[in-house]
Amino acid sequence: MENRTEYKELLSVLEAIDIHHEFHDEWKNDIQKLRVFIQIHIGNFLPDDTDTFGTYLTRLRTFKGFTNKELSERTGLTESTISKYLHDSGRTKEYTLALMIAFELQLPQLDAVFSLAELRIDRKTNYNDIINYYLEHSDSKAVEKCNQTLILFGFLPLTAIGTPDYGK
């Protein structure tokens, strides 16, 4: 097995989404097959009763295979800010949304994350229509594109990435 820790974490994700597959024993030692199987069923990957905001984000990061540096590049947040979020320290609606877009979450997962973060999102506004669009059409540049769209419609960006002030 290439990476025993990653394997254990993937198995815990598999248990968290509560999927039982009859062929699981045939490929349970293949990390790639585990990742693909979980990706197919990621909509079921919701927090369990013991998860906090930070532990759930950590499990998502592990599953997606992102480093803090990669999340920083996708969101425009500093690695230090991302580390704080993963350790249950600090939360803003905008930064949480940027992370959710970077993680390419589905709407049921977004609701679960906002509940864990004790934040509220109202989907009946143009602002949230833009956010929802980028949640549904996420890629490595989604936060940047989302910020540019928010600015175009007169809203403040989630983070600085993709704005004229980014990198200054």
| Predicted local distance difference test score (pLDDT) of residue 1 | 42
| Predicted local distance difference test score (pLDDT) of residue 34 | 67
- What's the CA gap between 153 and 119, in Å, rounded? 23
- Closest C-alpha to 74, from 164, 168, 150, 158: 158
> 3-state class of 140 per DSSP?
coil
- What's the CA gap between 55 and 70, in Å, rounded? 18
From first to last of the 168 residues of the chain, give the pLDDT tens digit.
446 666 676 666 666 555 555 545 666 677 677 666 666 665 556 777 788 889 888 888 887 788 999 999 999 999 999 999 999 887 888 888 888 888 887 766 777 788 888 877 665 568 878 888 888 877 888 899 898 888 888 888 999 888 877 776
Backbone angles phi, psi at 62, to 5 degrees: -60, -45
- What's the CA gap between 97 and 152, in Å, rounded? 18
| Predicted local distance difference test score (pLDDT) of residue 14 | 61
Neighbour count for residue 84 (Cβ, 10 Å): 16
- What's the CA gap between 144 and 163, in Å, rounded? 8
Domains of the chain by range and CATH?
4-44 (no CATH), 53-152 (1.10.260)
| Predicted local distance difference test score (pLDDT) of residue 80 | 94
Ramachandran area for residue 18 (φ above 0: left; ψ -120 to 50: alpha; else beta): left
